Structure 1
């Protein structure tokens, strides 16, 4: 073994043995990072990076920066084509983001972990990744998707007989059913998980499942049974000295006794929760206890005492910035003032609650947009890495080809002299074709940011003008549309059904944005198999957007209608976009009257793409725009006919 190898293994041992104390020192942390990066680029170094990433997690969380060790582990794993390392690293990143309530990012990272765990054929790692992704979805109320992840994890965990992941999946499925108020099914799941935790002698898991059973029975109105399970959970938490678990049980018992109208007992447990909260670092629980006691006193008609506790909850929450507690406390105060007959103060408290609700919604929307941008940046970086790898392989292939050509020229000089002319001609043709393809990729890269900018602007305006539920629905659809765009625009051609799926999502979003002022129909000819027919991505969207915003939004007399028809004619794909809007002439008049000079970037880029498609394929590709008029010569809309060469998968 060489001296360099011995030094590398010694450094690997020393780095692996370093304590967690380094996470507190910025200089030491980055010196450690430099040391790790000097190790041999192999899978053992990936494991060291992951270990140090966990050890230094608190430092990076405190400085609000990305964990450099985990990012280095991802980069090295990609270089080594090591899917297990990628799965472990993305699991760490996802869990870190979930702990910061960045659930969109967490879901994306954990889904990447699922993908790479499958590539690694590691059943245990796949099971853990699926459960992680399920928890992310459950936190976002994506209950069906969460159920699918946990159910898949449960099947794998049962196959490999991994009790821990069986319990996690079973408990999570029970919580999903509890959220959907399927109490009987939830109880069955929690009882099964409780039995497994008892067999594994895991007291914390037992306490959690006993508490969940209490929730289920309280939901069914079986309060005595719920109280019995809450007390059993409390006994285990007290034995474990788990203060957070004790606080949860005290609050649950207070809620159950309040429902039974046993207010003295309810107050006793809520006061216990308040006292226990002093031992918990997170002061949000103290504010919650003040609020819960205020609600209990309000129900009993003790308005002055309730007001005192509400004020304590507001004071603490305002000081520490607990906006959700402030929103709920002001809402409870509004109900208390209303029941005491002070309607003016009730209105003032309601207005305060709504202000905090709007503030929370704004923060969530901004966070969601930032996370979507981060996902886009990560995907873009991954694509760049794949392109660099491809270029590296191509360079190596070209080098080998050149060496082969040299030996061939020596051996077959006369033959190559004759064939040289044909080779040079062929190479020039290929270079011209590659140049056109690069121009086409450049135009696609212009098209994608243009569309994303318009969509983000739509979301921004929609969030400011609508309620939380509609904004959430809009963001969900936009997230799915973004993923489709990121997938589709990586390819020169995509299946027709994928393109129409993204186009339909776009039309749904624009219809919501325009308050349903138009309807649309997408008609595909019966002789077209939309799984086999290929189409350039994002080729129809600019003309659809133009029809909506220059034709249909200005139509006042009747509801707008947009029709998109796809058919085959010989070896050509005919796409027709027809609207019953105001026509191009009136649209231009409105544009000039408003003093707008902006030209559609999307339509210019798309026209350029179609021209390049025609040059590359030497086939018909064109766009024809027709102004529609009635018998009196009045404009009745616009028809855009796009002719593309028909491409097929097979």
Structure 2
């Protein structure tokens, strides 16, 4: 066995009979040692807390600190595990409260609250708030305790934690009972009672029934108080809970005493005395003897009263119940005074004051000892944190050296990669500038090509029409030329400007062809033609091709239709030009007959422009030509689809 194991075992055995506890001590030591050997993680913390709870009665009975909870706290601090820290402090705080060390208990529960808040665990926050509130109530810090329980109640209701709602509600009622706010206390006790009944918690029901009795007794509603005491007594009897029965019997005795029903009061107080024989804590026996003595004194039966009071004093002296001795000598002094024995009354008063002073001295010494305990705990926590800090600093130094080495290697790699991408980017930029110059050159070729075709059209129109119509045609043509020349100065123009120039062009061609075709524009409703941008003169060659190679060769009785549709699909502008002309196959046959087999300059230049747009933007840009046919396979026209990257002003 290790030195630590021997020390732990000696601690367990100190102040008790070796033969009685050796077996349990060895069993618990072996359990503790086996848990300590487990890997240090949060699972180990949970196991330590659980085993500490299962074996806590052993440690309390031998007045020993619970090592499982101490180890759970130490490990949680090392792991920086706030939930474990909170749970451990809550357990240790409650153990201290059970030993009446309320100052230490409050400090532990406040630390548990802070850790629960760090863990952001609402259930644990509520539990810690209620624990701290109870500690404050035991120290008569009523406002502080009230504030803790109100916060706990609000959070418990929010997460529907019925158990802690009951605890908070009952505690608030007890504070209001202490401050004599009986109506408010009754409201809270009734609510707690309703919740305990729904939860089928008989102990909680019994406690709240008793509390309601105290509240109604405070309002001097003695019959109602007695009713609730009896209900509480019935549940305690059903549960066979001696301490609860003794409390109810004493309460009933006090209530009947106030009603001046002395026989009934005596009956219940004697029952309390009988039940207290089954209670381990003999302070309740001393309290029952004292209550009977006071009752007899109130009836003027002084000799008999003093016998009971002296029995209370004998028991309290044997067990060292100083508070009970103070009350018993005070009651004895009052009884001597009422019977005119002033010297004995003074002697009893002196003894009462002597015990009062002794209690105050003990409280001061206990408070000092508790403050020392808090200091030692804080010092230990800080040592653990400092050790963890030193360990973390050492780890960080090692990591720092690794990081520096890695950073230098990464920097060198980034410099090489960055240099490669810089050179590549510079080459791409140069290529893009070259492509843009080519595009500008192609765009500028559109102007003379279009002007040449238009002038040829004007020449033919003037020879075939009268001078007024020729003048109108020339006016529209000049407007179109001005718009075209202006648009082609820019890489992109707004869609509405491009459509305006296209409408003018179609009006001119319709006039020149004597209205043999109609045209329609179909623009997507989602398109704002003031914001969408399009390369200038990109559609005109395909429109021109549709007119002169498809529509003009139709039979005079058949009306030509030209549809221009523009849609916005995701990040692409889809332009579709559809005609119901003779189709490409017949158009080619007509050209062969006329011996005109040269390629269209406008079409060739535009295809080159679209290809350059695709290369520059690295986005989809293409032209698709589809021959339209009916079910019999006869040509019904041609559809040209132009897909361009969507560009916007903003």
TM-score w.r.t. the length of structure 2 is 0.58
Cα contact 1:157–1:163 (8 A) shared by 2: yes
Q: Distance in 2 between matches of 1:407 and 1:105?
A: 50
Greater CA drift, 314-323 or 386-395: 386-395
Q: 1:409 to 1:219 in 2, by over 3 A?
A: closer
Instruction: List runs of 5+ in structure 1 lacking aligned partners.
Output: 1-20, 413-650
Q: Distance in 2 between matches of 1:110 and 1:321?
A: 30
Q: Within 5 A, what are the aligned runs for 1:33-182?
A: 33-182=32-181
Q: How many residues align?
A: 392
Deviation, 1:298, is: 0.6
Deviation, 1:168, is: 0.7
Match of 2:287 in 1: 288
Q: Distance in 1 between matches of 2:79 and 2:23?
A: 31
- Listed one character per residue, the Cα deviations across residues 505-526 of structure 1 (whole Å, up to 9, x for unaligned) are xxxxxxxxxxxxxxxxxxxxxx
Match of 2:206 in 1: 207
Deviation, 1:30, is: 2.1
Q: Distance in 2 between matches of 1:92 and 1:221?
A: 40
Cα contact 1:23–1:56 (8 A) shared by 2: no
Q: Distance in 2 between matches of 1:171 and 1:411?
A: 64
Q: Distance in 2 between matches of 1:410 and 1:313?
A: 86
Q: Flag the structure with larger Rg.
A: 2
Q: Distance in 2 between matches of 1:135 and 1:229?
A: 24
Cα contact 1:22–1:56 (8 A) shared by 2: no
Q: 1:355 to 1:387 in 2, by over 3 A?
A: same
Q: 1:401 to 1:357 in 2, by over 3 A?
A: same
Match of 1:382 in 2: 381
Match of 1:605 in 2: none
Instruction: List runs of 5+ in structure 2 lacking aligned partners.
Output: 1-19, 412-650
Deviation, 1:410, is: 11
Cα contact 1:23–1:29 (8 A) shared by 2: no
Deviation, 1:24, is: 6.1
Q: Distance in 2 between matches of 1:406 and 1:227?
A: 82
Q: Distance in 2 between matches of 1:225 and 1:145?
A: 31
- Listed one character per residue, the Cα deviations across residues 250-295 of structure 1 (whole Å, up to 9, x for unaligned) are 1111101111111111111111111111121211111100000000
Q: 1:269 to 1:44 in 2, by over 3 A?
A: same
Cα contact 1:253–1:269 (8 A) shared by 2: yes
Deviation, 1:22, is: 9.4
Describe the SS at the equivalent of 2:280: coil
Describe the SS at the equivalent of 1:341: coil
Q: Distance in 1 between matches of 2:409 and 2:264?
A: 99
Q: Distance in 1 between matches of 2:403 and 2:235?
A: 75
Match of 1:352 in 2: 351
Q: 1:403 to 1:164 in 2, by over 3 A?
A: closer
Q: Distance in 1 between matches of 2:191 and 2:407?
A: 72
Match of 1:230 in 2: 229
Deviation, 1:25, is: 2.3
Q: Distance in 1 between matches of 2:39 and 2:67?
A: 18
Q: Distance in 2 between matches of 1:328 and 1:401?
A: 69
- Listed one character per residue, the Cα deviations across residues 139-182 of structure 1 (whole Å, up to 9, x for unaligned) are 00011110111111111111111211111100000000010101
Match of 1:273 in 2: 272
Deviation, 1:379, is: 1.2
Cα contact 1:327–1:353 (8 A) shared by 2: yes
Describe the SS at the equivalent of 2:300: coil
- Listed one character per residue, the Cα deviations across residues 222-264 of structure 1 (whole Å, up to 9, x for unaligned) are 1111111111111111122121111111111110111111111
Match of 1:542 in 2: none
- Listed one character per residue, the Cα deviations across residues 363-407 of structure 1 (whole Å, up to 9, x for unaligned) are 111111011011111112222222222222222232344456779
- Listed one character per residue, the Cα deviations across residues 101-150 of structure 1 (whole Å, up to 9, x for unaligned) are 00001111111111111222222222111111110000000111101111
Q: Within 5 A, what are the aligned runs for 1:604-623?
A: none
Q: 1:276 to 1:353 in 2, by over 3 A?
A: same
Q: Within 5 A, what are the aligned runs for 1:516-527?
A: none
Q: Within 5 A, what are the aligned runs for 1:139-538?
A: 139-402=138-401
Cα contact 1:22–1:29 (8 A) shared by 2: no
Describe the SS at the equivalent of 1:261: coil
Describe the SS at the equivalent of 1:301: coil
Q: 1:187 to 1:396 in 2, by over 3 A?
A: same
Deviation, 1:63, is: 3.7
Match of 1:508 in 2: none
Q: 1:399 to 1:345 in 2, by over 3 A?
A: same
Deviation, 1:409, is: 10
Q: Distance in 2 between matches of 1:22 and 1:123?
A: 40
Cα contact 2:182–2:216 (8 A) shared by 1: yes
Match of 1:499 in 2: none
Cα contact 2:74–2:384 (8 A) shared by 1: no
Q: Distance in 1 between matches of 2:92 and 2:22?
A: 17
Deviation, 1:198, is: 1.8
Cα contact 2:78–2:385 (8 A) shared by 1: no
Deviation, 1:344, is: 0.2
Cα contact 1:23–1:58 (8 A) shared by 2: no
Q: 1:28 to 1:257 in 2, by over 3 A?
A: same
Deviation, 1:354, is: 0.9
Question: How large is the Cα RMSD of the aligned pairs?
Answer: 2.1
Q: Within 5 A, what are the aligned runs for 1:4-19?
A: none
Q: 1:24 to 1:283 in 2, by over 3 A?
A: farther
Describe the SS at the equivalent of 1:25: helix
